[in-house]
Chain A
Amino acid sequence: MVFTLGTLFEALLLLVNAVAILNEERFLAKVGWGKDYRNEGFGGQSGAKVQLVNLITSVQTLLRVPLVAINILVIVYELILG
Chain B
Amino acid sequence: MAQGPGQHQGYGVPASAPPPNAPLFQDTSGLTQFPPPPSMAAAQHLINNPMVSAAAVQYGSEFAQQGQAYVNKGINRLLAITNLKTYFAVDTSYVLKKLSLLLFPYTHRNWMVGYGESGRTSPKDDINAPDLYIPVMGLVTFVLLNGVVLGTQSRFTPEALGVAGSSLLAWLAAEVLLLWLCLYLLAVTSQLRWLDIISFCGYKYVSMIVSVGLSLVGGSTVYYCALGYTALAITYFMVYSYLQLHYEPNSLPLCYRSRV
Q: Closest A residue to B160 by CB, please name it.
A: A2
Q: Which of A3, A7, A45, A55 contacts B184 (CB 8 A)?
A: A55
Q: Which of A3, A12, A44, A51 contacts B167 (CB 8 A)?
A: A3
For chain A, the bracket of interface size reads 10 to 19
Which chain A residues (29-82) contact chain B, with CB distance < 8 Å?
44-48, 51-52, 55
Q: Is the CB of A46 within 8 A of B170?
A: no
Known: A5-B173, A8-B173, A8-B174. A47 touches B187 (CB 8 A): yes
Q: Main secondary structure on chain B at its contact with chain A? A: helix
Q: Which of A5, A44, A45, A51 contacts B169 (CB 8 A)?
A: A5
Interchain nearest-CB distance for B29 vs A (Å): 67
Interchain nearest-CB distance for B105 vs A (Å): 28
Known: A46-B258, A46-B259, A46-B260. A4 touches B166 (CB 8 A): yes
Query: What is the bound-complex CA distance between A8 and B108, given in angstroms?
Result: 36
Q: Is the CB of A3 within 8 A of B186?
A: no
Interchain nearest-CB distance for A72 vs B (Å): 24
* B163 interface contact, C-beta 8 A: yes
Q: Which of A3, A47, A51, A55 contacts B170 (CB 8 A)?
A: A3
Q: Is the CB of A48 within 8 A of B186?
A: yes
Known: A5-B173, A44-B260. A52 touches B166 (CB 8 A): no
Query: What is the bound-complex CA distance between A7 and B170, given in angstroms?
Result: 8
Contacts of B163 in A (CB 8 A): 2, 4
Contacts of A5 in B (CB 8 A): 166, 169-170, 173
Contacts of A48 in B (CB 8 A): 185-187
* B171 interface contact, C-beta 8 A: yes
Top 6 closest A-B pairs, CB basis?
A: A8-B170, A46-B259, A5-B170, A51-B185, A48-B185, A4-B166
User: Which residues of A are in contact with B by a Cβ distance under 8 Å?
Assistant: 2-5, 7-8, 12, 44-48, 51-52, 55
Q: 26 A-B Cβ contacts within 8 A? A: A2-B167, A3-B167, A3-B174, A4-B163, A4-B167, A5-B170, A5-B173, A7-B170, A8-B173, A8-B174, A12-B177, A44-B260, A45-B258, A46-B258, A46-B260, A47-B186, A47-B187, A47-B258, A48-B185, A48-B186, A48-B187, A51-B184, A51-B185, A51-B186, A51-B187, A55-B184
